[in-house]
A and B are shown apart, each in its own frame.
Chain A
Amino acid sequence: MGGKVNKNLKLVLFGFLVWLIPFLVSFVVFPLKETMRPLFESIMPLVLTVTVIVLAYYYLKDLDADFAKEGIIAGVVWFIISIIIDLALFLPASPMQMSFADYIMDIGLTYVMIPVITTGMGYLAQNL
C-alpha cells in the first residue's frame, strides 16, 4: 500500500518536473523567440526530450515488472499534467495569455513527445 502511494506520488511529482524544467528553461531562452526563433524552437523540444528521458529512467528503474505498461501510464499522466498546468497559466488574462488553438499549435502538441519517449523506454526495459 505504502509502496503504491510512493509510486503514485513519484509519478505525479515527476510529471510536475517534466512540466517545470522546460518551463524554467523557456523563461531563460525566451528572448531568443523574437531574435532567433528557429534556435528557440530547437532548444525547447531538446530540453523536453532530455528531461523526459532522465525522469523516465528514475521512474522505471525502481520497478520490478510491467515496464511497458508503466511507461505508457507515465507518458499519459505526464502529458496530461503538463497540458493542465499550461492551460491554467495561458488561458486566463495575463501577459502570457493565448487562445486554446494557438496554445495547442505552439506548445501543447510538442508534449506528444512525452508518451512516445516513455512508451519506447518502457518497452525497451521490458525486453531486457
Chain B
Amino acid sequence: MDFKKILEIIGFGFIVWLIPTIVTYFASDAGSVQLYDFTASVAIGGSAVVLSYIYFKDITSHFVREGVILAIVWVLITIVLDVVLIYLGISKTSLIEYAVTIVPLYVIIPAITIGFGLYLDQMVANVSIYEG
C-alpha cells in the first residue's frame, strides 16, 4: 500500500469524524434529543457514503478488503479523536455515556464501507460474466 493511499484513508477518516462532530455540536445546542439522534446518524452515514464513494472510485480490485480496511481505520480514528476530546474536557460527556450513546452509532461506518466493497465486488463479477 503506497503512502498516498494511507494518507487518503487517514485523511478521509478524519473528515468522517469531523463532519458529524461539527453537525452534532450544533444539534446538541438546540437541546432536542430527537434532533441530535437524527443529525448524528445522518451525518455519520452521509459522510461515510460520500467519502467511501470518493475512495472507491479510484479502486479497481480487492473491494471487500478495501472496505474492511476503511471500516477499521475510520472507526478507530473517530473513537480515538472522540476520546481525546473527552479527556481534554472539550466534550462534556463521560466515557461511559459516550460508550453507550455514541459508539453504537459508528456501526453505520463498517455497514457502509464493507457494504460498498461487497457491492462493487459483485458488480465487477457481473460485468466479467457478461463480458466473458
| Chain A residues engaging chain B, CB cutoff 8 angstroms | 36-39, 41-46, 49-50, 53-54, 56-57, 60-61, 102, 105-106, 109-110, 112-113, 116-117, 120-121, 123-125, 127-128
B45:A49 contact, CB within 8 angstroms: yes
The prevalent SS among residues of B at the interface is helix
B105:A124 contact, CB within 8 angstroms: no
Q: Does B56 contact A (CB under 8 A)?
A: yes
A117:B108 contact, CB within 8 angstroms: no
The prevalent SS among residues of A at the interface is helix
CA distance A112 to B116 in the complex (A): 18
Given A50-B111, A53-B116, A105-B35, do A120 and B50 touch, yes or no (CB 8 Å)? yes
Cross-chain pairs A/B with CB under 8 angstroms, 21 sampled: A37-B33, A38-B101, A41-B105, A42-B104, A42-B105, A45-B105, A46-B111, A49-B45, A53-B112, A53-B116, A54-B115, A61-B122, A102-B34, A105-B38, A106-B34, A106-B37, A109-B38, A120-B53, A121-B119, A124-B56, A127-B57
CA distance A117 to B44 in the complex (A): 12
Determine the chain A residues whose CB is within 8 A of the CB of B42 once the complex forms.
Answer: 45, 109-110, 112-113, 116
A46:B119 contact, CB within 8 angstroms: no
Determine the chain B residues whose CB is within 8 A of the CB of A60 once the complex forms.
Answer: 123
Among B99-125, those with CB < 8 Å from A are 100-102, 104-105, 107-108, 111-112, 115-116, 118-120, 122-124
